[in-house]
Amino acid sequence: MLCVSIAGDGRNFRGQVLTLRGRLTAAFLAVTFGPVLLGGAFVAATVAAVDRSRATERLAVAAAAVRTSIDALCQQLRAAADAVAVTTDHAGVAAQVVNRGLAAAVQVTDVTGRVSHATPNAPPAPWRDCAASAPFGGPVGALVVRVELRDTTGAALGTVAAAHPVDPAFVARLAAVTGVAVTLLDNAVPPARVTHSTESPGGREAVLAAAASLRDDRVTSTTDGRYLRRAGPAAGQPLPLVLSVPSDQPPGLYAVLVGVVLLAALLGVVVAWRLARVATRPLVELAGAVDRVVAGDLTARIPVRDGDEIGRLADAVNRLTRETGGYLAALASSRNQLRGHLAVLGDTLASTHDLQRILRVILHSALAAIGARAGAVLLTASDDGLVAECTEGFDGQRPGTGPVRVPLGSGVIGAVAVTGEPCRGRLAADVGPPSEPPCRTYIAVPLAGPAARPTEGPPTATGAKAAPALGVLALYDRLGGEEFDDDDLATLRTFAGHAAVAVHNVRVHEETQRLSLTDPLTGLWNYRYLRESLRREVERASRFGRMVSVLVLDLDRFKKVNDTYGHAAGDTVLVEFASRVRGEIREVDLAFRQGGEEFVVLLPETDVRGAAIVAERLGAAIRTAPVPVVGHAGVRESIPVTVSIGIAVYPDHADTGPRVLEAADEALYAAKAAGRDTWRAARAHRGGEPTAVGSAGTGRTGQAGGASSGPHPPSYGPGR
């Protein structure tokens, strides 16, 4: 067992070496690779920030240039329109304006909107007014400026419009002036399409895809590395334009940075692994030497080369190896002995609920493991005392006193049971307390109940409340005359734990057996135990030629009680009814709750007349005293309760237990049909089958119909 433990420690030690090497490698990598990674990330972030800043600045200048150029064009168109409006020869002046290139077209309309004169080759509609700034839909054919045409008196004669085409040449001139790519959209709000652009066909798609996210003067980037900004429509610049510039980042910059970082990481891993290996080599050598010791060579020694921490560790392992060799023989001998005791103890605990047998095995194992002359297991009795349930090494008696009994709180054992604290020591004389066996040395530990709560029981020395003890395990007079020590105390605690579990399990088993056969509400036997008891009593009556009477009782109109007063009140009625039934039957009689408000009473060695007496008394006991309950509103009330009873007797009314119960049940239905609060007895069976229930008697004085005659048992005579 020791070798296995050491082998496990060796494997754990090797795992610690590998873990240490991994931690050292990670530390070296953090020192070397961390700055490189942070530097690469900083360079990449800085280059991207500088590139974006430059692109933003270029686009801002280009937007200002576009606004200035379009404003100058609009001023030119306004001057041309004014020149036509101030003359009377509109056609001649308009032709001169067009010929000189001041406008591409001039159009004169009257006050009705009819065109009175227009120069040829006018740009296609629609024309976008230079003063407009609101969003619009559709492509722009030309920029136009309109001025009013008036006579000498100031009366309005119409308007003069001077226009300039918005075409690819116009967009190209804007791109030349600004030094950036210019794209004209057909709509200021999404969805939009490209009307004219100086971008390449592939670049136009990227611009159009990113234009939907452009807001105000913000700059955004495209997937192909371009920066975009919207320019208009706004006051003085009515066209929806998108300006774009390519990124100035060197091609392949990020690839170079990634390559540098990966190369630095590779070099860092190599260097870190090498350094970690050199640092952990002494630990690996130490682990190898420990492995030899683990393999069983306890004469192996680890060379101590230096006085550092590893050298001190090697010296400690050498001392441990020497001391381990001294313990091996003692451990080997005690191991087999302990295995035998534990095997017997485990088999006993697993195979039986015989408490005496379990306690004997535990006490015998404890005596052998600790080496004591005598011992006892004392359990707490119902009279607040301890009783020796199992003893060994003495007869369990003191002269003239009978079995060992110790009052709680009296002597060493009584104090252990009360305080829950173990105790060991030596007595000054060979005579112990009057209530305990004589001894020189002793050791006692409490049997703590597994299900006890820590807050129960008397206060301990620390002020906390100890769990109530199930009993005490005590050993006396260690062989050799020495006192019991702390190791003996720890060992005895283990056996006391087994004893406590055994006592608890046996008591739980007994309680479970009881609960499985009783009704939890009334405390009467349940239907399961009814079938077993009825079978047993019928067999006994058949063997000895006796009778068995069965009474089936059913509370009258019990559903009305539940509906009127509540189910809690109904439960109170059932409990009180069960109590009164128990008060009217003999100790040998058995009362059962069959289910709901239906009960069964089994009367051994009782004929139909005796059963009728019991039925009368049960009916009177229920009828004469109403049951006090608490109603829905918390008001105490008294409920009058009556019971109907059916009687059947073996072998008069049936020849088997189930048939007797069935006959009594049919008699109960007859009692119900007769007006309730009465009893009826079944008629004698013919041909092995019970006949219809008898119906003699009515009201509260039911009589046995077809009941067999004969003397009834003395215990059910008139005096009862």
Residue 108 contacts residue 149 (beta carbons within 8 Å): yes
pLDDT for 434 equals 58
The whole-number pLDDT of residue 681 equals: 95
Q: Residue 357 is which amino acid?
A: R
Q: Higher confidence at residue 661 or residue 104? A: 661
Average pLDDT (46-57) is 82
C-alpha distances out from residue 458 to 144, 419, 424, 447, 474, Å? 105, 6, 20, 15, 21
Give the C-alpha separation, 672 to 667, whole Å. 9
DSSP 716: G
Domains in the chain (CATH in brackets) are: 31-278 (no CATH), 352-510 (3.30.450.40), 518-716 (3.30.70.270)
Q: Which residue has the higher pLDDT, 439 or 202?
A: 439
Most confident of 333-337, 448-452, 458-462, 678-682: 678-682
- Cβ count within 10 A of residue 535: 13
Position 4 pLDDT exceeds 50: no
What's the confidence (pLDDT) of residue 720?
Answer: 29
- In this prediction, residues 159-172 reach a mean pLDDT of 88
pLDDT at 586: 93
Q: Say how far apart CA 143 and CA 164 lie, in whole Å.
A: 5
Position 614 pLDDT exceeds 90 = yes
d(CA 186, CA 173): 19
Dig out the tokens for 102 from the structure: 């001041």
Task: Tell me which of 233 and 663 has the higher pLDDT.
Answer: 663
What is the pLDDT at residue 468? 61
DSSP secondary structure of 606-641: --HHHHHHHHHHHHHHHHSSPEEEE-TTS-EEEE--
**Alpha carbons 359 and 416: distance in angstroms, whole number:** 19
Task: Kindly give, in sequence order, each residue whose CB lies less than 8 Å from that of residue 244, ignoring residues fewer than 6 positions away.
Answer: 59, 180, 181, 183, 199, 203, 207, 222, 226, 227, 228, 229
pLDDT at 695: 34
Which pLDDT tens digit goes with each residue over 659-692? 999 999 999 999 999 999 999 999 876 544 444 3
Name which residue leads in pLDDT, 81 or 631: 81
pLDDT at 694 over 70: no
pLDDT tens track for 487-512: 888 888 888 887 788 788 887 877 77
Nearest to 604 by CA among 585, 622, 583: 585
**What confidence score (pLDDT) does residue 606 get?**
95
Average pLDDT for 63-73 = 87
Residue 582 has a pLDDT of 93
Give SS3 for 99.
helix
Is residue 265 a contact partner of residue 253, using CB atoms and an 8 Å limit? no
**Residue-level pLDDT at 635:** 79
What are 314-370's pLDDT values in tens digits? 788 888 887 777 777 666 666 666 666 666 666 666 556 777 888 888 888 888 888
Residue with tokens 């069965």: 550
Structure-model confidence comparison of residues 535 and 96, the more confident one: 535
Question: Where does the pLDDT of residue 530 fall: very low under 50, low under 70, confident under 90, or very high at 90 and above?
Answer: very high
Q: What values do phi and psi take at 613, rounded to 5?
A: -60, -45
pLDDT level of residue 699 (50, 70, 90 thresholds):
very low
Lowest-confidence segment of 31-40, 279-288, 307-316, 456-465 by average pLDDT: 456-465
pLDDT value for 332? 63
| Range of lowest pLDDT (89-98, 205-214, 241-250, 265-274) | 205-214
Band of pLDDT at residue 577, cut at 50, 70 and 90:
very high
- Where is mean pLDDT largest: 194-203, 244-253, 568-577, 711-720? 568-577
Question: Would you place residue 450 in the very low, low, confident or very high pLDDT band (cuts 50, 70, 90)?
Answer: low
- Is pLDDT at 264 greater than 90 in this prediction? no
What is the average pLDDT across 601-609?
A: 95
Q: What pLDDT, on a 0 to 100 scale, did the predictor assign at position 15?
A: 46
Q: How high is the mean pLDDT of the chain?
A: 78
Query: Residue 149, SS3?
Result: strand
What per-residue confidence (pLDDT) applies to 551?
97
Query: Is residue 464 over pLDDT 60?
Result: no
Give pLDDT tens digits for 355-411. Answer: 788 888 888 888 888 888 888 888 887 666 888 888 888 754 443 445 677 888 778
User: Cα angle at 257 between 253 and 261, to 5 degrees?
Assistant: 170
Asked if residue 647 has pLDDT above 60, the reply is yes
* Cβ neighbours of residue 319 closer than 8 Å, sequence gap 6 or more: none
State pLDDT tens for residues 541-558: 999 999 999 999 999 999
- Give the residue from 124, 147, 141 showing the smallest Cα distance to 75: 147
pLDDT at 64: 87
